[in-house]
Amino acid sequence: AQKVTQAQTEISVVEKEDVTLDCVYETRDTTYYLFWYKQPPSGELVFLIRRNSFDEQNEISGRYSWNFQKSTSSFNFTITASQVVDSAVYFCALSEYGYGGSQGNLIFGKGTKLSVKP
């Protein structure tokens, strides 16, 4: 069955530190997509990145970078030189072809709460 595990419940860092948020997923599909979302205190989930199962190339966007490794079923997210505005809950999610009506449904992890202190 599909599953997303974010083992880190809460992380606290001091501003300018680098921080990595872990995500491990389980799926039997060979075609799937992985996502990261940010949920700031205001509550609205914000899309950060999408990665498909055939593209293991790492991606960098400003201070954000993502490391996708199929061999370990992981899709980790690193924030370089963290800032107070990065404080939020971060969710990793999986979308797979599945079967029947479940195609495209997002399976979320429980989230990691990141606190960046000045």
Partner 1 sequence: EAGVVQSPRYKIIEKKQPVAFWCNPISGHNTLYWYLQNLGQGPELLIRYENEEAVDDSQLPKDRFSAERLKGVDSTLKIQPAELGDSAVYLCASSFGGISYEQYFGPGTRLTVT
d(CA 113, CA 12): 8
Closest contact distance (angstroms) between CB of 12 and partner 1 is 16
DSSP secondary structure string for all residues of 22-44: --EEE-S-SSEEEEEEEE-TT--
d(CA 85, CA 30): 36
Give the residue among 25, 1, 35, 8 at the shortest CA–CA distance from 111: 8
**Among residues 41, 43, 62, 118, which is the contact residue for partner 1, using CB under 8 A?**
43
Do 115 and 13 touch, CB atoms closer than 8 A? Answer: yes
Which window, 18-26, 57-65, 75-83, 107-115, contacts partner 1 (CB under 8 A)? 107-115
Do 1 and 105 touch, CB atoms closer than 8 A? Answer: no
Closest contact distance (angstroms) between CB of 28 and partner 1 is 14
Give the x-and-dash track for 68-97 against partner 1 (CB under 8 A). -----------------------x-x-xxx
41 binds partner 1 (CB under 8 A): no
**Among residues 47, 81, 83, 117, which is the contact residue for partner 1, using CB under 8 A?**
47
Residues that bind partner 1 (CB under 8 A): 4, 31-33, 35, 37, 42-47, 50, 52, 91, 93, 95-97, 100-106, 108-111
